[in-house]
Structure 1
Amino acid sequence: MKPLAPALRPKTADSRRPFSANVSEPPIFPRQKASTACRECKRMRCKCSVGNGTTVCDRCIKNQTLCVFDLDEDMRRKLFHKRKLNELEAERDFLQQLVNTLRDSSDDKALQLLGLIRSQAPPAELQLYIENAMTDGDRQQSPVWADILPSPLPASRSDYQAIVQSTRLSRPRRALDPFHSWIDPDLFLRDARTGNLSSQYCSPFLMNCILTEACFYSDHPEAYADPTDRNSKGLHFYEEAKRLYDRVDGQHDLPTLQGCGVFTICKAALGKGQAAWWHLGQLRSLAADDTETDPPLATLTPQGRAANNAIWGIYNLSVTTSITWMKYLAITQPDRPRLPYDHGPDKAWTPYPRQASPVQSHIACVFNNLCELSTINMYASALVFGSDQIPPPDILARTLQKIRARLDRWRDNLPECLTLENVTVPHALTLHMVYHASIMILWGSLKEPRDAAKAGTESMTFAAREVCVDAAESVVQLLRIYRAKWGINCMCLAT
C-alpha cells in the first residue's frame, strides 16, 4: 500500500526559488465582481470585474476606456439614502426660512425677495439675500406689532392702564381702524391713561375689543392665545371681551356702542357670521337708543363730534354688511353732522408697516364720502333686497340703471384727494373697493337668469356679467396697488 503523506504547500510569492531571489514577480490577486458596474459596463450591459487592489475594471483596461464608478447611481447603498435625506432636510430648512422671511420682514424687503424669486434666481442667491439683507429685528417680529404691542402683555387684559403706560398704544391711530373712524383716538387715549374703569370714552370692554382686532394685523407670538396654534389669534382678548360684554349688556354709553361695533367685526373675522349678524341687529337698536337719549348739540364740541362719528360709523357698518350679505336691514339715516373737511398739519397718518414720513390722513374726506356711499347703498338694498323676492329681470334692470346713475355721480364728485391718481392712504383705496364691490353684488343678482324668467333676458344677463367682470378687475387692480404700497396684511377687517 502507498503510504499517506501531507499535501505539498502551494507556492507563494515568499517561497524559495531555485533561481536568483532578486527577480521579483507581481502578486497574483483573485478577481472579484464589483458591487456596482461602471458607467461603460452599464452602457454595454457587460459583466464588470475588478482586481483586488485596483480601481479600474478589467474590460476598461482591455479596451482603454474611461472607467467611472458613480456610487450615487447605486440605489442599494445606505450612503445614497443618507445623502438624499440630508438634501431633503436642507431643502426643507431653506423653504421654512424663506416662508419666515416673507412673513416677518417689511414689505420693502419682502417685495425685493419676491422679485428675486420671480426672476428665477438660484436658491444659493436667495439664501445669500436672506442671510445678508434681513436684520435680526425682521426675523424676530412683525413690524406692525412693534408699534402696537412691543413688549409682553400683562396677565390681566382688563388692566388697560398698564397697557397704555407701557407704550403699547402710544400710537393709537395705528391700532384703530381709520376707515370707519368711529373711535376718537385723542379722547380714547386720554381716558385710557387715567386708568379709570368708568371713564367716559374708554372702558375695559372697548379696550379688549380693540386689542382683539389689533391681533389680526400681527404675527407676533403675543397675538396668539396659544403660540403653537395659528387659529388662536386674538382669542385671549376676544374671550375677555365676551365676558365683559355680558356685564355691559344694556348700558347706553359711548364706549359700549363703539366696543359693540368692533366686537361685531371681530366675530365675523373669527368665522362667527350668524352671531355677528345678530349682534349687528342689537347694535342698531343700541345706536337708535343713543340717538334719542343724546340729541345733537347746537355747538359741535369734541365730545359731540365723537358721538356723531360713532353713530355714523355704526350706520356705515350696518349698510355695508347688509348689502354684502344681500339681506335688507331697515336702517334710518342719522340726522347728525359729519366731520368737517380738514387738511390741517395735525391731521397726519403714518404708513404702516413701512417706516415712512407721515402723510395727510384724509380721514374726514374718506369718512364723509363713505357716509354718502352708504346712503346710496341703503337705497339700493331696499329696492333690490327689500322684499322677499328679487324683482323680475326687466324691473330689476331698470332699477339697477337708476342705482348706477347715483353711484357714478358719487364717484365723479369725489374730492381730488380721493381720486385714484392722488391716493396716499389705504383707507381711500378701501373706499373705492366698497364702491366696486357694491356694483358686483347688485349686478350679480341679474347675471344668472331664473328658470321662470329666462325668455328674453339673455342680453340683460350678458350685460350684467360684463359689469361684474369690469368691477372685479377694478378690485384686483386696487388690491395690487394696496399690496405694493402698504401690504395686504394691514387691510382693515371690515374690508
Structure 2
Amino acid sequence: MTDSKRRLAPAPPGTPGGNDAHPRRKNVGTACSACKARKLKCTGTAPCANCVKSRLECTLDQTLDKRRRGALKRKIDQLEEKEDLLFRLVNVLRESGNRSTIPLLNLIRSNASLPEIQYYLNHQVPESELALMPELLEVSHEFQRLQDADSRSVRRILDAKRLSDQPLFQVPAKPWTSVVSDNDFVSHLISLWLTWFHPFSNWVDRDRFVYDMQTGLLGAKYCSPFLVNAILAYACTYSDYPEAYAVPGDVSSKGVHFYDEAKRLLDKEEGRISLPTVQGIGMLWAR
C-alpha cells in the first residue's frame, strides 16, 4: 500500500521560510489624513506609499502621535517641577529673617515673574549667603540640577551686561567718588541700582538725585559723595564688570572698595545730619 500523501521537494538554498516570507510590519505612531479617510495601512512617513501610488497629497498631523504626546507630557512635567521648586523658594524667603535677602524679597513682593526671580537667585545671591539658609540652599541646588538636565532651554532674561551697554542714566564719576574715574562704569552702576533696587526701596528721589549728580556740584541738596559711594557699593552686587570687584575674581569683595570709601566719608561728617547722609546710612544698612 502506497502513501497517498505527495512528498514536497525541499526548498532551494537561500529561499526564506514560510514564516519569514512576510516580514512583520513596524508599528506606526500615526497615519496620514488620506489613509485614515480610506482606512488603509499607512507607512507613517510623508509622502506615504499609498499617497504616492494614488498621487494624493500626504498630510501627517504629528500632534496625534502618541509617542510625541508622551514626550510633550514629560516636558510639561519637568516645567511643573521647576515651577514647584520656585514656589518653594518664594515660601522659604517669605519666612526668612536674613537681612541680606531684602532685595530678593522686594523683588518677589513686587510680583516679579518666575524667570526674573530665577535669574536673581542664580546671579545675585552668593553661595555664602545661601549656606546660612539650609532650606533655600536645598531648593537652589535642586533647581540647578533641573537646569543642567535641560540645558537647551533658553530664557530671555534682562541681564546686567545688556543694561550696561547703554546705561539708562548718564552721570559723572567726579567729584562724587575717588575710587574710579570712569564715567561709563559709574553710569552703569547707578543705572543698575535705579533699575533693580530703587523701585522696591525708593527712599531716594530718583529725579532730584540724578539731576544733582549730573550737575557735579558738591554741596547739592539731594546728592553727596557719601550717598553716591554707598549706592555704588550696593550696585556692584548686580554687576559682573571687573571694576566691581575689590579683589579680582573674589565675589565676596564686590563693592568693598566703594563701601570703604563711603565709611571714610561718613566719618568725616562728624555728626552733621543731611538728607543724603541719612539716605546713605540706609544704603549701608541694606548692604
Same structural fold, with TM-score higher than 0.5 when normalized by the shorter chain = no
Of structures 1 and 2, the larger Rg is shown by 1
State TM-score, norm by structure 2.
0.40
Provide the TM-score with structure 1 as the length reference: 0.25
Higher relative contact order (CA 8 A, sep 6+): 2
